A and B are shown apart, each in its own frame.
Chain A
């Protein structure tokens, strides 16, 4: 109270206008604010204490854990490979000396260009190599068939052609073109002599006389009939000439 007066007097000395104005607080406070203030402050203090205690009780991690983590993972990976090498060393050491680099070749761009997703959705792509193989087999079979059939037909025709040719031949006219001198030369040529079979026996003179007698008893008509029935292709020439 004493201080209040002293302060008021001091203010009057500075500014009588302010000293004489009413002291009105323009700021508002939520209703019941002060009534619950203490309780809120106490509650907040309790929560802060709990939280600080909770962080202190989370799982502990060893010191330097994250610093060593990468190294630990790498050595685990290596020990996996080492396990396989060790195993192979005991069983078949030679195989450990062989490089595991892939030796089979892959067509250039195979993995980049092959669209397996499209294949899975819309169906397989059958390689031309497979289709081409079957095409080659089929082509070979057709060629073989054509060659065999052609050979068969060709040889058969030639034989028929020869027979037909001879059957159509007019022997009489052909022989008439040949001169008598040429015919005599041909007959007298020893190369053209037909060798008689060894079993053939020449008839004796006595047998021939009997044959001659028998033939004289046969009439001309009977002879002609005999020749007609037993005629060979060239006999027509002799028959016509005799006539």
Chain B
């Protein structure tokens, strides 16, 4: 059973219990954040790299966390930004075009040792990687994390209406892709 966020934050602000609280926060959220990032970057090593950056930022920034949002929302926001930053850096390092980067991620999915083109779950993953980055984030947060639009709006700093439209659009595109795959 994980401790309450308020309790963890209180302990974090206390020098004597800071590290213990930080470890507890990681244990509580590491898997959720990992999968959120992994669905963005596909590759495990890349996800591990990004996740390390996320927790470094959490360690450095938690002292100044204003608690005007939920801790969970704040963590997801950092993880999303780090994931998108990583993809942006990959684009800059690569000489290929933007559309080729999305194709590159689809290829990464296909190159997974367990990939099975006949299985719907894998087709879904390939389809998701075809989406533009932010749309991919919206779809993943709603479809996999079952996040309310209100919560998503705080993470992505986008209106609920825009998020709903983005999600509906993404879902239709994915369905179309799977039918024709």
Q: Does B98 contact A (CB under 8 A)?
A: no
Quote the shortest CB–CB distance from A92 to chain B (angstroms): 4
Question: What residue of chain B has the Cβ atom nearest to residue A104's Cβ?
Answer: B38
| A80 contacts B172, C-beta separation under 8 Å | no
CB neighbours (8 Å) of B58 from chain A are 120
For window 105-148 of chain A, which residues contact chain B by CB distance below 8 Å? Answer: 105-107, 110-111, 114, 116-117, 119-121, 124-125, 127, 129-130
- Are A80 and B146 within 8 A (Cβ)? yes
Query: Is the pair B144, A94 in contact by a Cβ cutoff of 8 Å?
Result: no
B49 interface contact, C-beta 8 A: yes
Q: B55 touching A116 by the CB < 8 A rule? A: yes
0 or 1 for each of B107-148: is its CB under 8 Å from A? (1 = yes):
000001110000111101100000000000000001110101
Which residues from B are CB-within-8-Å of A124? 49, 52-53, 56
Beyond A94-B179, A103-B121, A103-B122, whether A120 also contacts B172 by CB under 8 A is: no
A84 touches B34 (CB 8 A): no
CB pair B175 A94 closer than 8 Å: yes
Contacts of B112 in A (CB 8 A): 104-105
Interface of A is mostly: helix
B55 touches A120 (CB 8 A): yes
Size of interface on B: residues with Cβ below 8 Å to A: 44
A88 to B146 alpha-carbon distance, docked (Å): 11
Q: Do A92 and B171 form a contact, CB below 8 Å, given A106-B44, A117-B55, A120-B59?
A: yes
Q: Are B56's CB and A92's CB within 8 A? A: no
B30 proximal to A (CB < 8 A)? yes
Binary contact track B18-52/A, C-beta < 8 Å → 1, others 0 = 01001100100011001100100010110011011
> Is A97 located at the chain interface by the 8 A CB criterion?
yes
Taking a contact as CB atoms closer than 8 A, the residue among A91, A101, A114 that contacts B171 in the complex is A91
Across the interface, which residues of B come within 8 angstroms of A107, CB to CB? 44
Q: Of the candidates A81, A91, A103, A125, which one forms a contact with B114 in the assembled complex, judged by CB atoms under 8 Å apart?
A: A103
Contact of B52 among A101, A111, A116 (CB under 8 A): A116
Let me know if B23 and A117 touch, CB within 8 A.
yes
In the complex, whether A2 has a CB less than 8 A from a CB of chain B is: no
**Complex contact A117–B122 (CB within 8 A):** no
List 9 A–B pairs whose Cβ atoms lie within 8 Å, in order of A's numbering: A91-B172, A92-B174, A97-B120, A98-B124, A105-B113, A110-B48, A117-B26, A120-B56, A120-B59
Given contacts A106-B34, A124-B53, 11 further A-B contacts (CB under 8 A): A92-B172, A92-B174, A95-B175, A99-B121, A104-B125, A105-B113, A117-B55, A121-B19, A121-B59, A124-B49, A125-B52
**Contact residues of A with B, CB < 8 Å?**
80-81, 84, 88, 91-95, 97-107, 110-111, 114, 116-117, 119-121, 124-125, 127, 129-130
